[in-house]
Amino acid sequence: MFARFSVILVNTLSSSSCSSSFNMMRPPFVPFWPQAKQLITFPSYFSTHYHYHQPSAFFATMNTHQHIKKPMCFYFTHGKCTKMDDPAHMERFDHDSSVGVQVDSGELKHVGEMNTTGRRKPLCLYYTHGKCTKMDDPFHVEMFDHDCSLGLEVDVHALEGLQSQQFDYLLVLDLEGKVEILEFPVIMIDLKTLRFVDFFHRFVRPVKMDEQRVNEYIEGKYGKIGVDRVWHDTAITFQEVLQEFEDWMARNNLRDKKSGGSLLRAAFVTCGNWDLKTKIPQQCKDSNIKLPSYFLEWINLKDIYLNFYKREARGMRTMMDELQIPLLGTHHLGIDDSKNIVRVMQRMLSDGVVMQITARRSVSSHGTVQFLFKNRIR
Q: Please indicate whether residue 366 is annotated as part of the active site.
A: no
User: Does a structural domain hold residue 162?
Assistant: yes
Characterize 274-302 residue by residue with b for buried, 16 or more Cβ atoms within 10 angstroms of its Cβ, and e for exposed.
ebbbebbbebbeebebeebbbbbbbbbbb
Q: Please indicate whether residue 176 is annotated as part of the active site.
A: yes
Alpha-carbon span 268 to 350, nearest angstrom:
19
Alpha-carbon span 335 to 204, nearest angstrom:
13
User: Does a structural domain hold residue 262?
Assistant: yes
User: Does a structural domain hold residue 221?
Assistant: yes
pTM equals 0.70
Asked whether residue 112 carries a pLDDT value surpassing 60, the answer given is no
Name the pairing type of β-strands 236-237 and 369-371.
Answer: unpaired
Asked whether residue 111 carries a pLDDT value surpassing 70, the answer given is no
Please tell me which residue in 49, 53, 65, 332 is annotated as part of the active site: 332
Q: Could you read off the pLDDT of 310-323 as tens digits, one per residue?
A: 999 999 999 999 99
Q: Which domain CATH number covers 306?
A: 3.30.420.10
User: Does a structural domain hold residue 98?
Assistant: no
- Number of domain units in the chain: 1
Structural domain harbouring 189: 156-371
Please tell me which residue in 89, 140, 176, 201 is annotated as part of the active site: 176
User: Does a structural domain hold residue 57?
Assistant: no
Q: Could you read off the pLDDT of 179-205 as tens digits, one per residue?
A: 999 999 999 999 999 999 999 999 999
User: Does a structural domain hold residue 302?
Assistant: yes
Q: Could you read off the pLDDT of 135-175 as tens digits, one per residue?
A: 999 999 999 999 999 999 999 888 999 999 999 999 999 99
User: Does a structural domain hold residue 191?
Assistant: yes
